[in-house]
Amino acid sequence: MNLVERFISYTKVNTTTNRENGAAGIMPSSEGQRVLALQLVEELKALGVEDIKIRDTAIVTATLPSNLDYDVPTVAFFGHLDTSAEQTNDTKAQILPYKGGDLCLNKELDIYLRQSEFPELENYIGDDIIVTDGTSLLGADDKAAIASIMDMLQYFKQHPEVKHGTVKIGFVPDEEQGLRGAKAFDTKEFGADFAYTLDCCGIGELVYENWNAGDVEIIFTGASAHPMSAKGKLKNSLLMAHKFVAMLPGGEAPEYTEGREGYYWVKQLAGNSARTVLKMDVRDFTEKGYAQRMAFLKQLSEYCEGLWGEGSVVCKQADRYANVFNSLQGDNRYPIDIAVAAYEANGITPRPIPMRGGYDGAALSQNGLPCPNIFTGAHNFHSIYEYLPVKSLYAASDVLKSVVKITAERFAPGAKA
């Protein structure tokens, strides 16, 4: 099976994440993820890799043993099984030649991938592009990753003369719900020394920075009273919450920030005059900046409680995930260097980008497995306009092959560091 056929076969399995089940702690949150996991297990068996395991959570792992006579660090590659709940329809993938201009996805429904809206399409003139019929996601997030990983394994099984160290793979569920699968992944049992996820990004993009991320819940407790006799008695928790939000730093919200600028995201506000709950996301690329943001919200809560009375404001904070870059310092930087060398070996200019979000590598890195992110080649994730240039898909698989080869060469006896 070639790489494109493999990818399209995966898109035929509806693996939409189920937010309600995820909130209830069910993993995988959707049965389609288990169906795809079982399909992958059978394909891994057919390839002849070893130590294939599938857990009750649908986490799949396998190992390609080393064919070297010396030891090198064990590299791993990860993809996630689920697709975003932004669209839930079954995927009807199609391959269209792109000659420039607008690309018709669905003539009957008048759905076009328009170059005026997506100018990067110009980079793929002359390429074949995989798209949907405009009624669903494509699911390249993250089935392009799974297909590239499986293609890489197939290559090494078909070419035993190519030297490589031990390669491990992991497919995890429910990335689209706060990295749940990666957080449940046992990195110590897995036994890899470093890893890469493939998630997001056009060809050449390389991620080794993301947010330090936290969740904040602030509970405002007021005092209800009938409006006919409310004077001096009513303490409106909704207005308390609004005043709190008004005291947040101006301009430090998602809609005003870019690049490495952090923010406070007022995400949800619900309640009544007696009790109101404000939910916020806090994001910053630096550990110091993240700590300062969390401390500011704590201090502001304490200040407001002093104004409105004891117990009127309670601030609950939790860390969600950390910046991958925190785990790639000093002697742990080599996964970045190997990725850069793998890009260059394939004639691809590395374009490091800070990811203004989280990905499975953040959770894996935090659990002791340093894990940058390699491109899948796809664009417009979580959208009916998601598309995947065929050459970019092949490039992603080629980069993985080069990562494995370069690891074997770089850590060979007598090799230059």
Residue whose structure tokens are 């078909």: 158
Task: Mark whether 302 is an active-site residue.
Answer: no
Q: Which of 313, 316, 303, 312 is nearest to 217 (CA)?
A: 316
CA angle 2/77/352 to nearest 5° reads 100
Extract the tokens encoding 24.
Answer: 């209830």
- Alpha-carbon distance of 352 to 326, in angstroms, equals 16
Helices and strands, counts by H and E, the chain: 11, 17
CA angle 2/360/377 to nearest 5° reads 40
Q: Residue 397, Cα to own-chain centre: how many angstroms?
A: 18
Which residues make Cβ contacts (< 8 Å) with residue 310, sequence separation at least 6?
A: none
- Alpha-carbon distance of 174 to 170, in angstroms, equals 13
227, 234 Cβ separation under 8 angstroms = yes
Strand-pair partners of 76 = 168, 195
- Alpha-carbon distance of 94 to 99, in angstroms, equals 16
Task: Mark whether 20 is an active-site residue.
Answer: no
- Alpha-carbon distance of 177 to 57, in angstroms, equals 14
What is residue 331's DSSP assignment?
G
The catalytically annotated residue of 82, 141, 151, 193 is: 82
Strand-pair partners of 339 = none
Query: Biggest alpha carbon distance in the chain?
Result: 87
The catalytically annotated residue of 43, 142, 175, 199 is: 175
What torsion, rounded to 10 degrees, do the Cα atoms 100, 396, 200, 95 define?
40
Which residues are tagged catalytic? Answer: 82, 175
